[in-house]
Structure 1
Amino acid sequence: MRVMVFVKATEDSEKGLPPTEEMTAMFEAMGKFNEELVNAGVMVAGDGLKPSSFGKRIHFDGPNRTVTDGPFAEARELVAGYWIWEVKDMDEAVAWAKRCPNPMMGPSDLEIRPFYEMEDFGDAVTPEIAAREERLRDQLANE
């Protein structure tokens, strides 16, 4: 089972605060945790994201597209980083998440969401669609 683990943003992470000794200790702890994830074969990918002031949103309404520059309101609704994990089930993902050092300087949250897999869509996925999906995944794995 593949899951994405979101590190939710905080007011501080959205400010893009300069590094401090406390932040250096947090980065060291997170690095050790990431090493554990990799050594256990759980971590597929992961990274931190710059504050939303560096981002853009694209709103879709039929054929129309509207671009909005960041920053975006409600820091607690934003994502500051992520992991992609390959786990046996949601219980294993939760167990790993509970071992995570606090990813922020103060109170913070992680959110775990499973990926859709092709079989989740049943008959809507034709053999042609499944073959294209497999071909694209193979192509990405080889780049």
Structure 2
Amino acid sequence: MVIVKASTDSEADILPTEQLLAEMGQYNEELVKAGVMLAGDGLKASKHGARVHFSGDRRTVVDGPFTETKELVAGYWIWQVSSLEEAIEWAKRCPNPTGEESALEIRPVFEEEDFA
């Protein structure tokens, strides 16, 4: 899974520029043609969401927005690659997802054989 970190713009509901949308669309097409991309979406700002906190049997709901933008997720891809190194190479080809200082986080997804 490749996680796109939120920015102040994404948290302010400011959509990417048409140029960035076009660049990302082209990048996504490359991923699909290569058989790498399984899924991917952008996420609305945290003010449109909620968190459910667990403490034993209790559940507490906290509505967004959430304050720590740098810890929020603005979007994601699910890629099927043979290694972390391959995912890194694909990530390095990505247009800057926010147009400003940003980061992509790459995390392996558990597979059935991981639990065998």
TM-score computed with the length of structure 1 as normaliser = 0.78
Within a 5 Å distance, the mapping from 1:27-42 to structure 2 comes to 27-42=21-36
> 5+ unaligned residues in a row in structure 2: which ranges?
none
Aligned to 2:12: 15
CA distance in 2, matches of 1:90, 1:106: 25
1:24 aligns with 2:18: yes
State the Cα distance separating 1:18 from its structure 2 match.
Answer: 5.3
Residue in structure 2 matched with residue 128 of structure 1 by the alignment: none
> Residue 131 of structure 1 corresponds to which residue in structure 2?
none
Identical aligned residues as a percent: 60
Q: d(CA) in 2 for partners of 1:18 and 1:91?
A: 31
Moved over 3 A (4+): none
Q: How many residues align?
A: 116
| Residue of 35, 43, 56 corresponding to 2:37 | 43
Aligned-pair RMSD on alpha carbons? 1.0
Does residue 83 of structure 2 align to residue 83 of structure 1? no
Structure 1, unaligned runs of 5 or more? 123-143
Aligned partners of 2:102 and 2:3: how far apart in 1?
Answer: 11
State the alpha-carbon separation in 2 of the partners of residues 34 and 10 from structure 1: 21
Could you tell me how far apart the structure 2 residues matched to 1:29 and 1:119 are? 36
- d(CA) in 2 for partners of 1:117, 1:92: 18
Q: Which one-letter code corresponds to 1:76 in the other structure? A: K
1:35 is matched by which residue type in structure 2? Answer: E
Matched position secondary structure for 1:6 = strand
Query: What is the deviation of 1:121?
Result: 2.1
**CA distance in 1 between partners of 2:84 and 2:15 (Å):** 35
Q: Report the secondary structure of 1:13's partner residue.
A: helix
- Seen in structure 2, the aligned counterparts of structure 1 residues 79 and 18 have a Cα distance that, compared at 3 Å, is closer
The structure number with the bigger radius of gyration is 1
Q: Distance in 1 between matches of 2:106 and 2:15?
A: 28
TM-score when scaled to structure 2?
Answer: 0.96
Q: Which residue of 2 aligns with 1:115?
A: 109
